[in-house]
Amino acid sequence: MARQPSSVRERLWLLAHDEHDDMRPRINVRALDIGLAAAALVDLMLWDRIKVGGGLVLLNPDNRVTVGDPIARNILNAIAQGPAPRLAEVLHEARAELLGGAPSPFQGLYQHTRAVLVAGGYLSEQRRLLWGTRCMLSDSALIFTIRGQMNHVLVLHPRGASSLANDCLIALVSALDLHSRLPMPYSTSEAEPILKAITAAIPRRAGEGSPVSVVPHLVELVRHAIGDLATAAF
């Protein structure tokens, strides 16, 4: 099995690219930036570093374990310095067209995540004289493996075993409508009720008080933020 990154954010970035077409994004990069911001928060929730209360993203002061992922660590440091950001505003900040204002660790996550994947050896950069830099998979099976794990969960639902990280990844795939662009064992219309059921079951599977219980709400906020892109002024 191909070695794969542990973070939901990095796996979402990889799923959102076509490994058979020069790693071209399958969806609008501005929408993906919003999804990656949500995925970074999900990673911190899974690592029990943050939670959402009253609509605010709050630090868990009882967990001081070092976060190895540099992007998640920057976001955690920004949250720690306060004031606590509103969850909906975080997704608004992630919009690429807002770059140029006050610096935010939630902006530019598409490029930053790509750089982390290159540094981790999952992607390699090929510099071309006329066409700029192209990214390639270091292991051609990587995206196939991640997608296969997701499809396995869908096919076996609700009987099969899954992890909270995989369920959260599936929830974000649904939020970005990425499933309509991915090779899947189901049509888009067949997959959607399964994706919704997996997303809705996350709070129950996570248990009372778990930070990831907010993921179904986060998914709806992602959808609203992406919908706002259609009316964004440039």
Q: Is the pTM of this model over 0.85?
A: yes
Please tell me the predicted confidence (pLDDT) of residue 98.
55
Q: What letters, b where the CB count within 10 A reaches 16 and e where it falls short, cover 17-38?
A: bebeeebeeebeeebbbbbbbb
- Structure confidence by residue, pLDDT tens digits, 109-155: 999 999 999 999 999 988 765 666 788 999 999 999 999 999 999 99
56 bridge partner residues: 53, 86
- Structure confidence by residue, pLDDT tens digits, 166-190: 999 999 999 999 999 999 999 999 9
Calpha distance 62→79 (Å, rounded): 15
Q: 3-state DSSP call for residue 95?
A: coil
pLDDT at 92 over 80: yes
Domains of the chain: 8-229 (1.10.3630.10)
Enter the tokens of residue 41. Answer: 């928060």
Other CB atoms within 10 A of residue 179 CB? 21
- Structure confidence by residue, pLDDT tens digits, 13-66: 999 999 998 899 999 999 999 999 999 999 999 999 999 999 999 999 888 888
Burial of 60 (0-12, 13-18, 19+ CB in 10 A): middle
Helices 215-229 and 29-46 cross at an angle (nearest 10°) of 160
